[in-house]
Amino acid sequence: MTIQHVLAMDANGQGIGLVPLDQAIRLLIRKAARVVEWFDNRVIWMGPLKVVTAVFSADELGEGLVVRETLAVLKAPSIIQVFGFLRIGHRAMPRPTTANVIARDGFRCMNDKCGKVYRHDVKKLTKDHVHPISRGGKNVWENVTTLCWRCNNRKGDRTLKEMGWRLIQAPRRPKTQLELQIARRKDVPEQWKARFVIKE
């Protein structure tokens, strides 16, 4: 797995978003963040020890720095804690796009009579309006769910009650933008799962 993002926390230990690895490194160099956890077997740099010690102290890197004679191996950070304000994408809650709704629902058809998971074949999933737009329904988080193509075609513009269906989980607005960022990932590092309640 290639490390592309690092989980950022605020001063209170609350997850605030995923930041690109290069941004996380810049924050660490500027002393605007500290590493909370490192990836165990993922290296971002290997080279002369004097290059690393010119930028960081051994105390700052802790177990993220492995020294072998004059060679330094720098592990990749998994979770950082940011000391000040961190701008991460849009502040507002993302819209209920098809991709966001599918991620929120765990890549699963939410029809209780189907319930198939399509994590590796997302094109078989669609966004459905629980109360159809043709009948006055709105395109809001609380009115959209994920159905597979087969179930969505069967439902058409009918309501769940008319179909005799129930949903596995009621539609809801995600609590945070971070929840959606993590839900969209196909590979969630174990450190993130352990620190935050993450459903798969």
Which pLDDT score is estimated for 198? 54
Q: Is the pLDDT of residue 115 over 50?
A: yes
- Residue 200 is predicted with a pLDDT of 47
Integer Cα distance of 97 and 197 in angstroms:
24
Question: What CA–CA distance (Å, rounded) separates 153 from 71?
Answer: 60
Phi first, then psi, for residue 103 (nearest 5°) are -65, -45
CA distance 169 to 111: 9
Q: What per-residue confidence (pLDDT) applies to 2?
A: 59
Encode pLDDT of 120-150 as tens digits.
899 999 999 999 999 999 999 999 999 999 9
Residue ranges of domains in the chain, CATH in brackets: 5-82 (no CATH), 98-173 (1.10.30)
Report the residue count for the chain: 200
User: Which residue matches tokens 């969505």?
Assistant: 152
Separation between Cα atoms, residue 127 and residue 110, nearest integer Å: 10
- Answer yes or no: pTM beyond 0.85: no
**Cα angle value 33/34/36 (rounded, 5°):** 130
Name residue, tokens 């174990």: 190
* Helix or strand holding residue 100 (H, E): helix 98-104
Give the pLDDT confidence of 30-59 residue by residue, as tens digits: 899 999 999 988 888 888 888 888 888 777
- pLDDT 10s digits, 4-30: 899 999 888 888 888 999 999 989 988
* pLDDT tier for residue 97 given thresholds of 50, 70 and 90: very high
